[in-house]
Each structure stands twice: as C-alpha cells, then as structure tokens.
C-alpha cells in the first residue's frame, strides 16, 4: 500500500507546517478528507485556532470551529505525520535579498522529527534550486536519513489569493513536482483529494519553483507599466482609469490598473528571481525596472498629497490627514509589506501625523508590526484630507456625504480627496468642487 492510500484510509496523517494565510486553508481543506496536524511556532495563533477564531479571515471562524485539524505548537507531533506540507513565509531582507530563515528553520524542525517513508512538499515561494540545494541537505543532516531512499521531497507553489472568496484554494490548478516519478505521482494524488481544478505535473522541482516566481513577476511588470502610464497621464491631465476603460474594449487588452504593490508575493517574489539571476552573472533589466517603479509609487502618491494640500491653502505640517485602509490589498486583514505604510512614513517626513482607519486590521497587529495606532472612523472629523488607500468593500459603499462628514467645516475646494484606487466617481466629486486626485 502506497502513502496516498494510507493517508486516504487514515492510517497516516498530513502535517502542515506554518498556519498563516496559506497553510491554514490547506490544513482545513485536507481535514475534510483525511487526518491533519497543523503546526505553527506561534502559540498565540494556535490558541486562536483552537478557540475557533480565524485571524486571517480567509475561511472564517465557523470553518475553523468545524475543522478537524489537530492544531499544535509541539514539534514532536510532526513525527506523527508522513506527508509534510511546508507553508512558511519567504520574505526579503532590507537589502532586497531573499530571507530564507523561515524555510530553513522549518526544514530544521521537520528534519529532526522526520521518519522514514515520509514525503516533504514545500509550498513557500523560492528561487529555482532552493528546495534541492538548501532544504534537502538540512532535512538529511537533521534526520540522518537519505533523500530519495528514506524520504522523498517535492515542491508545489502556493497560489492562494488573500481576500479572494471566488478563486479559492480548491478552484486554482495546483502545480506539483517531485524528485522522481514515484514521488510526483504520490504528491499529485494527495493534492487531487482537495484541488477540484486538478493538478499540473511539472517536469522538475526547479520548473515548479520558477513557475511561481515568474507568474508573480509577470503581474508585477504589468502593474509597473500601468503605474508608469499613470504618472505620465497625470502630467498630461488625462484620467488613467478612463484610458484603461477605453482600452479594455479590445478583446485582447490586459485588465491591469495602477496602484500600490505590496504583500508577501508580488512585491517580494521578483527579488528572488533577480537575486538568483545576478548570482549567475545576469543583471535583470525589465523585472528590476518594474520593481523600481512599483517601489517608488508610495513616494509619488505622498508628493501628490502634499501638492494638493498646498493648492488647497493648507499649512502642510498642521494638516489633519486621514488614511482609509492599511492592508496591502482589499478585503483582507493582511498588513505584510503594505505600501500604505510607506505613504504614512512619507507624510510624517512633512510633519504630518495621519489618522489611520482600517476595521479589517487587528489593532494589536498594526501596533506590533508598524507602531501604528488605529482610529475608529466614527471618531474622525475636522480633516483636511481623506486618502482612500485600500478598496475595502466598506469604503466602496461610502457616499460623498459620508466622506464629507470626515472633513472640517470649510469650502469643498479646501477639502482634499486622494483616491488611490479610483473608488469614487471622479466627475461627481469634481462637480461638487472638492480638491480631488486619483491615481
């Protein structure tokens, strides 16, 4: 009997290492079919899951309560698993180089709890070669076992889109790979238990690693192109969104819009490619240029805010600015690598201490990660400038009257509205005489 059959018959367990925005949905999905152990070093997170609370909002509290997952921070429980899924973050350092500490740490923990006959599958985004050149040696060293003989390894890049309730885990085709044909088939069959869309068998682990980095780099480049157009159109006094709406009438137009590019994937993964390419003597041009443009958008928007405040006759250092939204994207509490934070820091350089509103975000998390105190929108008034930074559904539902209530008692032309995501009807706002700018 192979491992897949043993897992299906609940004779062996799946163990998910890392229970964040990626690992937790995977653990819950598999738990509907087989026995699952969910491991994370964060004891507070484990306690939340055990009490039926989903801090990620990816699947909701009810799904967590019903999930038949054994949540634990005790690494010895990993020994009870035979099919290990690694879903830890892979961030970048301050110098934009890959920070492999989390995936190396996870490999160390798994290695010292690895038993013969196991399969370890990495989902964390890495550059081609990390799984085989870095992770496998750690597993072998810590376990004393030999890869390919005593245990197998595969790679299956995560493709979860945080906050997306339509393109969920089960509905996204899963790329799978293994060190040999036997492991590839075992890994494919296990994932097919929960992936309704099916799996794509990559020819090698390096191909699967590269596919993940490339798909995010491609998106990053396309957004960078739109951001560059937006900056040029701003100088031409042309509305970028109107240009895009017109362009999108053609069947083969790519539906990309300008904006801030943060988060744990698109704003990070291209640097993994750039790093490995430079090690091989190739200096990226297109990908690096796209990153430079997107990383600079927060400064560009900050400058636009300051210009509009000056044009509205505001004393910049005394201006009351409220920022609606802190997360890296809409409808998620995820603040990792949020570029809104860069705007906040930019405003502080001008002597402005903005008020930050985001009901999606855990106030403790905002304070812990960025030292930012959140404010309830009900307590906002007398503002000089309102920045619509994130397109949360609740902000899309705001009327001009709702937004006007956030301002002080002065003429509309002195009320500055910065609409980064193009949420509002620009003509309606301008007809009311507000000082309005959108990316």
Task: Supply the residues annotated as catalytic.
Answer: 265
Nearest to 78 by CA among 41, 117, 29, 114: 114
Residue with tokens 């076992």: 145
Q: Which residues contact 333 (CB under 8 A, 6 or more apart)?
A: 55, 56, 57, 327, 360, 361, 362, 365
Beta-carbon count within 10 A of 121 CB: 25
Q: Are 389 and 340 in contact (CB under 8 A)?
A: yes
Nearest to 63 by CA among 16, 29, 18: 29
Inter-helix orientation angle 297-311/340-349, to 10°: 50
Query: Alpha-carbon dihedral of residues 417, 336, 367, 41, nearest 10 degrees?
Result: 160
Q: Are 390 and 323 in contact (CB under 8 A)?
A: no
Nearest to 289 by CA among 225, 215, 338, 210: 225
Integer Cα distance of 179 and 169 in angstroms: 24
Q: Which two tokens stand for residue 240?
A: 């970028």
Q: Which residues contact 355 (CB under 8 A, 6 or more apart)?
A: 320, 321, 322, 323, 375, 380, 383
């Amino acid at each position: 009997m192979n491992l897949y059959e043993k897992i299906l018959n609940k004779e062996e367990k799946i163990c998910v290492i890392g229970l964040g925005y990626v690992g937790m949905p995977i653990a819950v999905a598999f738990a509907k079919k087989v026995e699952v152990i969910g491991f994370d070093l964060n004891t507070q997170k484990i306690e939340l899951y055990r009490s039926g609370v989903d801090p990620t909002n990816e699947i909701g509290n009810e799904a967590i309560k019903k999930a038949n997952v054994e949540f634990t921070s005790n690494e010895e429980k990993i020994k009870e698993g035979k099919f290990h899924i690694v879903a830890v973050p892979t961030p970048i350092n301050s110098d934009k180089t890959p920070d492999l500490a989390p995936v190396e740490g996870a490999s160390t923990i798994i290695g010292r709890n690895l038993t013969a006959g196991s399969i370890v599958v990495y989902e964390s985004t890495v550059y081609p070669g990390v799984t085989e050149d870095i992770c496998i040696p750690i597993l072998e060293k810590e376990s004393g076992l030999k890869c390919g003989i005593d245990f197998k390894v595969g790679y299956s890049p995560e493709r979860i889109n945080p906050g997306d309730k339509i393109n969920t885990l089960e509905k996204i085709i899963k790329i799978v790979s293994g060190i040999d044909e036997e492991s590839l088939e075992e890994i494919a069959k296990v994932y097919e238990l929960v992936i309704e869309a099916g799996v794509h068998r990559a020819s090698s682990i390096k191909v699967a690693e590269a596919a993940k980095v490339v798909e995010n780099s491609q998106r990053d480049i396309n957004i960078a192109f739109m951001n560059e157009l937006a900056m040029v159109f701003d100088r031409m006094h042309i509305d970028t969104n109107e240009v895009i709406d017109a362009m999108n009438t053609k069947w083969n137009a790519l539906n990309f819009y300008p904006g801030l590019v943060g988060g744990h994937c698109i704003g990070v993964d291209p640097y993994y490619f750039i790093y490995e390419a430079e090690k091989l003597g190739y200096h990226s041009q297109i990908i690096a240029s796209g990153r430079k443009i997107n990383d600079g958008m927060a400064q560009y928007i900050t400058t636009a805010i300051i210009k509009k405040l000056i044009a509205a006759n505001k004393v910049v250092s005394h201006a009351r600015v409220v920022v609606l939204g802190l997360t890296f994207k809409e409808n998620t509490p995820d603040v990792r690598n949020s570029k809104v934070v860069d705007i906040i820091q930019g405003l502080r350089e001008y002597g402005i201490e903005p008020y930050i509103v985001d009901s999606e975000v855990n106030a403790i998390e905002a304070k812990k990660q960025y030292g930012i105190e959140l404010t309830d929108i009900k307590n906002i008034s007398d503002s000089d400038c309102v920045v619509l930074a994130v397109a949360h559904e609740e902000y899309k539902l705001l009327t001009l009257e709702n937004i006007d209530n956030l301002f002080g008692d002065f003429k509309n032309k002195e009320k500055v509205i910065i609409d980064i995501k193009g949420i509002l009807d620009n003509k309606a706002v301008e007809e009311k005489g507000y000082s309005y700018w959108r990316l």
